[in-house]
Amino acid sequence: MTHECLAAIRCFLLDMDGTIFLSDRLLPGADRLLRLFDERGLEYLILTNNSSKARAQYGEKLRRLGLDVPDERIFTSGEATTLYLRRTMPGARVYLVGTPALEETFREAGFTLVQDGADVAVLGFDTTLTYDKLWRLTDYVRAGTPYIATHPDVNCPLAGGGFMPDTGAMIAFVEASTGRRPDVVIGKPNPPIVEAVQARTGVPLAQTCMVGDRLYTDIALGQAGIMTVLVLSGEARPEDIPGAPWQPDLVMQNLAELADALEALPG
């Protein structure tokens, strides 16, 4: 597929970690690409599986890095999880393994967070994780309580190289202890977040493009009928691509190369 296929895209979905930034370092081309979206009247949504922060926190970080992104352009797997629960289990009492920011996201959505007597157990990217939290979660999971994870990412890339364990690693811990995986995983590439994104943007999936650095989440979103661009600025490496079950439509070094490709198209 050639770069000309980008001419049909009306909405771009951009991953954050490893795509727009790494830790506190803005990656090449991010500012130019967002300006280009505005100049050409293209819709965009910053779509992250990272549920450890609220969208307002991400908005603050992006502005600190020099990107003028309104909070309403940011959509997290944590927010998508609250939308899913409001639709499927309204009024549920939630045992949540998550950061204080994710807890606040749930409270703002109207959920009551409890330690005992929960109707559903939710596992997010918890950088405040303790053994007691995991122990209580495995008790709920072993007892058959409905069990939801915000996203499946195993690792989160870091600016200096290397990774920090993400929710997928915590899912593996729970499975090793209980023999059970989540009943539903909300974030990319799963249907609940695809449905939430389309409801938010109103753009047909065939005119939507996901740009990200992970094959098994960002690029796997292509199975929903979304065009995909893999950037090599985060987790994925060129040698990972040939054997991957999910193949990107385009591969680029970073967002600067994507901006170059869009600028080369008729305005």
Active site residue 132: no
Candidate list 15, 31, 126, 218, residue with the active-site label = 15
Q: Provide the pLDDT for residue 163.
A: 87
The single-letter code of the amino acid at 142 is: R
Candidate list 17, 166, 213, 218, residue with the active-site label = 17
Burial class (CB in 10 A: 0-12, 13-18, 19+), 104: middle
Active site residue 15: yes
Q: Alpha carbon of 253 to those of 3, 27, 204, 247: distances in Å?
A: 14, 11, 27, 16
Q: What percent of the chain has pLDDT over 70?
A: 99
pTM of the model: 0.89
| pLDDT per position as a tens digit, 109-131 | 999 999 999 999 999 999 999 99
- The answer on pLDDT for 136 being more than 70 is yes
| pLDDT per position as a tens digit, 186-223 | 999 999 999 999 989 999 999 999 999 999 999 999 99
